[in-house]
């Protein structure tokens, strides 16, 4: 089974310019995601970016950047689906084989639970009925509440075939409480 990590790193952030290459403790944010991806022992680590500067930084940490992202997938309004469509279009253009599983690692999450991500990958490998496994974290209070059903619909997947793993709890813990719309949740990592 081929497993690729994708690290989406757009350069045009308005709120925090160049946030994906801002340094924390001397290391660019995308560097943390790439180093984490290496610990997963996947087949490819791909950085999807629209910036030659970001591409060079990603390569420095060991990611592949076989192409730059298209304009439609780099806009302020581009969604994850646009980025993924662009990646598939570029894979076709460059004759790159599709993976069986994607692991989506956002550069802005640098504190990840390796065991939880590995469990998501293992569950996806073992259960062919699953379409996605997501690791979520409780968000800051300034982020508006999001219902679990909305999170599931971001990738047009059925909630019944998605596993939600909380990153701050033990890996096997029940996640039924995550569907409570009063809790503020953000998707940290996705495997699909």
Predicted local confidence at residue 23, as pLDDT:
93
Which residue ranges in the chain fall short of pLDDT 50? 141-185
- In the chain, the domains with their CATH numbers are 1-109 (3.90.550.10), 111-192 (no CATH)
Predicted local confidence at residue 150, as pLDDT:
38
Predicted local confidence at residue 20, as pLDDT:
94
Predicted local confidence at residue 132, as pLDDT:
86
pTM of the model: 0.77
Q: Measured between alpha carbons, how far is 133 from 165 in angstroms, rounded to an integer?
A: 7
Task: List the one residue out of 81, 79, 42, 89 whose CA is nearest residue 62.
Answer: 42
Predicted local confidence at residue 186, as pLDDT:
57
Q: What is the largest CA-CA distance in the chain?
A: 45
Tens digit of each residue's pLDDT (9 = 90 or more) over 32-65: 999 999 999 999 999 999 999 999 999 999 999 9
């Amino acid at each position: 089974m081929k497993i690729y990590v994708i690290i989406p790193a757009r350069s045009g952030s308005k709120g925090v310019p160049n946030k994906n290459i801002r340094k924390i403790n001397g290391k660019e944010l995308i560097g943390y995601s790439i180093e984490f991806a290496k610990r997963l022992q996947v087949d490819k680590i791909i950085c999807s970016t629209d910036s030659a500067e970001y591409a060079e930084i990603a390569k420095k940490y060991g990611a592949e950047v076989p192409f730059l992202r298209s304009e439609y997938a780099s806009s302020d309004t581009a969604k994850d689906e646009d980025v993924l469509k662009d990646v598939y279009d570029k894979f076709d253009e460059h004759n790159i084989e599709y993976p069986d599983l994607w692991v989506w690692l956002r550069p802005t999450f640098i504190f990840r639970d390796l065991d939880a991500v590995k469990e998501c990958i293992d569950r996806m490998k073992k259960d062919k009925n699953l379409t996605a496994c997501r690791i979520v974290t409780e968000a800051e209070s300034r982020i508006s509440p999001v219902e679990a059903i909305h999170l599931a619909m971001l990738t047009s997947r059925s909630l019944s075939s998605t596993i939600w793993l909380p990153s701050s709890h033990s890996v096997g813990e029940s996640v039924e409480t995550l569907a409570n719309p009063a809790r503020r949740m953000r998707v940290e990592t996705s495997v699909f």
